[in-house]
Structure 1
């Protein structure tokens, strides 16, 4: 029997853990079965996807269904079933597990759905079909049984010991078997990564626990009780294979990674040990030089971050871990409604410590459209979370997921949401559709300017005196809307030009504009080695003589050729003159962009830019990340008069 397991991932770099677990479970059941995995992206042309599936000539096709791919799966079913009439078509996953009978009624091409965890049920189903029998006793299965041509009493077809239910659906019956008595034991499941594959430049997913200690009503994890854990030593074997296959970013799909502190510490200990083992094998001086830096991405609950966690993470190797924490809201009536026990004020300093002192990248999430949170309440949540200055602040929108508490109570909460996946909220009792559209524009601006990491210093200076970052992003987004900029694609330089145009429209003083120009130019140099700086970013300091400016340009040329600068950059000593020239840039700024934020008001009010000494920086463009080095004033002293 030839079994094809199909995943349509949101992006090419993603991988699907579920079909790998199912492949391993099927192999364990019968080594005679031929099992093929096919992964696609939802951005692939469906005609090509359908062709690849058809050419496999499978006996069974199983789709892994989620909100981001169910539309494509339905289209593929309609294309494939007529040309593969003898094949069995199955689906599983959260998008089909909560209303399986309705899904089968709406998609007559489907033969069955496995609800919930399928590692134990799927092999039993394939075994039944391989033996030519009907799957009466396969747990978690909802399946279609075509009516026989010769009418027979249904009682003569259904086994006497069958305890499920059924429904007549046109020319077929839909049977709903009983759920499994117990969920799978993670430690008895086979390793999902035993088969060699190339995971270079891909996200690899692992799971060391199933379940969640919380009962958040917007999440389908609230429909399951209890948490099961994977033995850390079994995780070690999985991790070794992932590293051997080239995976370097390991994303834990555990709903709350720090639900049990002892287990989480053990898992991270294993990760660190294996990452250091990989480092020793690579024989590189540093991870960054070899490109072998493994990183763990863990989703944690802020409420569970205590002193032990801070001490543990403080000692974790730099760059080896990043954290995602769902705040969702800071509005207490909203938190009460969605059953999210949280006191953000009680742990925001811990998150700030982890990011800004321990240098651990932090990703914080907010959800717009939750019950009882209107525009003003959400703006307050945004500003409170933004105050932490996380590496990434995701402004997401409520998805009314099937089976969730929000879904069951959507009418009571006044939630109007899209009838099509991903079921995004359209309006609530507190937010109009106009509000939702305005928030989508803010989300777009936030991604382009803040989360992209391309405007770090510009935003740091611009937002320092803003009473509400939310209102800044809102005003900027509305300016974009007025200029019709959302209709176009913009490269980073274009985004910077748009930001400058917006700042000019605010009517600031010439001194303030001069400061903004300096910090934007600094971020411009961090984008790439500039061939030519745009006119609007070139230094224009009132009161500074042309002779002084000429002298600064001469000093810049002398600094570029100063051999002492190579000593500042690790690994640059071996570059020849041409390589060094192509890999570096030297530039002066009339404000201390990286350390002079506290002086911004004095500089603007007293017009001190004209008499300020320039601050010189060396920019280095080799490697994955741009680097910059503040140069000692003695290397670039100027003795020209400034008037």
Structure 2
């Protein structure tokens, strides 16, 4: 008796098939698996068991978990990020149990499927393109050991021969598809997922799978609102709309935005991909209604080189795009995420740098840089066949050489991408970066990161697992090496120290006050300073733009928390008067001697602030409390 025969003696028929997905992060939920099972439940069938993994989990762990489920058939949901791990798991499964059937589906395996099966003999069947109907019919046939060779939309092998059945027509009415997070399905999930309010795309960008997915089909507004109501009652933290151009239908976009603003009581974050140059003023006004920064907007700039954009059918009006992005920045609380693609046809390294500088000038929160990937079935594959683009031979098929870009330049773009994500996008050192880029690199972020990458490489510093403290140290070293201007070196050192405190929620090394201690102490103080209030002094105030050295060290008052709440910089109290008053209370100064101690520190000619007024202000902000 084989492993499967032994297992199937006591196995429910629905347990024959195991659904598997490998997500990018642990926090993600794969909506494809849930949708396949929801489609099955709606037709009176039991759901299949599911296992979801992430890229950080080892190959041995993934294999072990699949084996522990003892499936006869394993169906993998495959994306470009998961293909490599999926192929390893499938190959190992087939080696250990040759009778196990391997099915794959998803965007990464829906094109060139016959080549895929011929190159990977352990794959038995591929479900092409949209999978709900095809996989339901296929799984029913496999459960009953029936013939499946007439089912539309599959590529498979029979008697050693690979064959493909005709394509299945695309689903036109998306309202007919189940919403997999509806309570009736009772599926467990993590805190992030994609939501398909539409399929297809009006644009025909040569590098994107959506360009070959046919006409745009959408769920109705009524259905979208029903789905959103379920999200609003869920414990999701972020929902990403899979619409390729959310604002292509202006009125629909406005209705969805307003519905979220009016009903999103749990402040779930929503991510949309938009085309900024067609963004109308009334859509911007709808986004402006929300003041809690729950909207994340992704805008695909890709390049600002018109020739490169034309080569990949990416069209937008640059001036209208700039105007729209500036309006979003000034009028809304949306977090803006702008994309740049290196390695496009006709894009040189200089073109990439210009695009980077152009995008930086728009001041988005996030700048995502990547080298173009060659997705199976997309028109850009023709550029590979012609020899214009040279991708790596393994997933995700990153372009590392073109007729216009050398491998060394591609590697530089790759490393710039890593440091941009680790340093710029984390927002820990915004003021420091701005000062460095403006003063030392004439405002060119591309020149800055290019030189920083060379600095990183020269010292063999890893490009991963970069902590805020590590960044502060290395940026300080970088500035010391880049300029001999002592004043600027000291200013950046102070600014980095200040921003690190805000990033790490810890005061770090406690530096004693540069001033002599208060000498007139009392044994019966009237107030005490709350725990977590710390004062640090700087030569150059990190709260001011000026490089002018002041007569006295400049104070900054911080509130640190033991509960993990982010550090607060109490700017309104970061002046000599209130900082001195806090120190005076901390050192149990005699109230009647405040004027005397002030004069000892700052001189007789400096006017004395009103201590009672300061005390009221500090009490109001819970910086001090009566004893």
- Shorter-chain TM-score bucket reads 0.7 to 0.9
CA distance in 2, matches of 1:67, 1:554: 65
The aligned residue for residue 61 of structure 2 is 48
Query: What does 1:166-185 correspond to in 2, within 5 Å?
Result: 172-185=160-173
The aligned residue for residue 302 of structure 1 is 276
Q: Cα offset for 1:74?
A: 1.5
Higher deviation after alignment, 79-88 or 203-212 = 79-88
Residues paired across the two proteins, number = 562
User: Quick one: structure 1 residues 347 and 229, their matched pair in 2 at CA, closer, same or farther if it must change by over 3 Å?
Assistant: same
For the residue of structure 2 that corresponds to 1:61, the secondary structure is strand
The aligned residue for residue 567 of structure 1 is none
- Maintained 8 Å contact 1:618/1:631: no
Let me know the Cα RMSD of the aligned residues: 2.8
For the residue of structure 1 that corresponds to 2:556, the secondary structure is strand
Q: Cα offset for 1:491?
A: 2.8
Query: What does 1:623-642 correspond to in 2, within 5 Å?
Result: 624-632=565-573, 633=575, 634-636=577-579, 639=599, 640-641=601-602
- Maintained 8 Å contact 1:616/1:631: no
For the residue of structure 2 that corresponds to 1:23, the secondary structure is helix
The aligned residue for residue 522 of structure 1 is 498
Higher deviation after alignment, 219-228 or 232-241 = 232-241
Query: What does 1:187-266 correspond to in 2, within 5 Å?
Result: 187-194=175-182, 195-199=185-189, 202-266=191-255
For the residue of structure 2 that corresponds to 1:191, the secondary structure is coil
User: Quick one: structure 1 residues 320 and 488, their matched pair in 2 at CA, closer, same or farther if it must change by over 3 Å?
Assistant: closer
For the residue of structure 1 that corresponds to 2:146, the secondary structure is coil
Unaligned runs of 5+ in 2: 1-12, 581-597, 606-627
Aligned counterpart in structure 2 of residue 340 of structure 1, from 314, 336, 339:
314
What are the Cα deviations for residues 264-319 of structure 1, in whole angstroms up to 9, with x where unaligned? Answer: 2222233233313xxxxxxxxxxxxxxx4311111111122121122111112422
The aligned residue for residue 515 of structure 2 is 550
User: Quick one: structure 1 residues 133 and 473, their matched pair in 2 at CA, closer, same or farther if it must change by over 3 Å?
Assistant: same
- Maintained 8 Å contact 1:199/1:245: no
Q: Cα offset for 1:422?
A: 0.4
The aligned residue for residue 581 of structure 1 is 531
Alignment TM-score, normalising by the size of structure 2: 0.83
CA distance in 1, matches of 2:449, 2:559: 29
Query: What does 1:493-642 correspond to in 2, within 5 Å?
Result: 493-533=469-509, 549-550=514-515, 580-582=530-532, 584-594=533-543, 596-597=544-545, 599=546, 603=547, 608-611=548-551, 614-621=554-561, 624-632=565-573, 633=575, 634-636=577-579, 639=599, 640-641=601-602
Q: Cα offset for 1:21?
A: 0.9
Q: Cα offset for 1:614?
A: 2.7
Higher deviation after alignment, 22-31 or 89-98 = 22-31
CA distance in 2, matches of 1:186, 1:127: 22
- State whether structure 2 residue 457 is matched by structure 1 residue 457: no
Q: Cα offset for 1:562?
A: 10
CA distance in 1, matches of 2:464, 2:226: 48
- Maintained 8 Å contact 1:296/1:320: yes
Q: Cα offset for 1:390?
A: 1.1
Query: What does 1:93-132 correspond to in 2, within 5 Å?
Result: 93-132=106-145
Q: Cα offset for 1:22?
A: 0.7
- Maintained 8 Å contact 2:195/2:241: yes
- State whether structure 2 residue 360 is matched by structure 1 residue 420: no
Q: Cα offset for 1:241?
A: 3.4
Task: Detail structure 1 runs of 4+ shifted over 6 Å in the superposition.
Answer: none
CA distance in 2, matches of 1:379, 1:562: 60
Q: Cα offset for 1:138?
A: 1.6
User: Quick one: structure 1 residues 623 and 270, their matched pair in 2 at CA, closer, same or farther if it must change by over 3 Å?
Assistant: farther
Q: Cα offset for 1:487?
A: 7.0
- Maintained 8 Å contact 2:556/2:569: no
CA distance in 2, matches of 1:66, 1:366: 21
Q: Cα offset for 1:474?
A: 0.7
Q: Cα offset for 1:63?
A: 0.4
- State whether structure 2 residue 37 is matched by structure 1 residue 37: no
The aligned residue for residue 264 of structure 2 is 275
CA distance in 2, matches of 1:448, 1:218: 26
CA distance in 2, matches of 1:488, 1:235: 39
CA distance in 1, matches of 2:335, 2:518: 40
The aligned residue for residue 161 of structure 1 is none
- State whether structure 2 residue 408 is matched by structure 1 residue 445: no
CA distance in 2, matches of 1:174, 1:101: 6
For the residue of structure 2 that corresponds to 1:495, the secondary structure is helix
- Maintained 8 Å contact 1:144/1:174: yes
The aligned residue for residue 484 of structure 1 is 460
User: Quick one: structure 1 residues 44 and 294, their matched pair in 2 at CA, closer, same or farther if it must change by over 3 Å?
Assistant: same
CA distance in 1, matches of 2:199, 2:552: 59
User: Quick one: structure 1 residues 69 and 463, their matched pair in 2 at CA, closer, same or farther if it must change by over 3 Å?
Assistant: same
CA distance in 2, matches of 1:399, 1:215: 16
CA distance in 1, matches of 2:138, 2:56: 31
For the residue of structure 1 that corresponds to 2:36, the secondary structure is helix
CA distance in 2, matches of 1:135, 1:432: 48
What are the Cα deviations for residues 550-574 of structure 1, in whole angstroms up to 9, with x where unaligned? Answer: 15x769x99xx997xxxxxxxxxxx
Q: Cα offset for 1:631?
A: 2.5
Q: Cα offset for 1:611?
A: 2.6
Alignment TM-score, normalising by the size of structure 1: 0.81
The aligned residue for residue 154 of structure 1 is none
- Maintained 8 Å contact 1:525/1:619: no
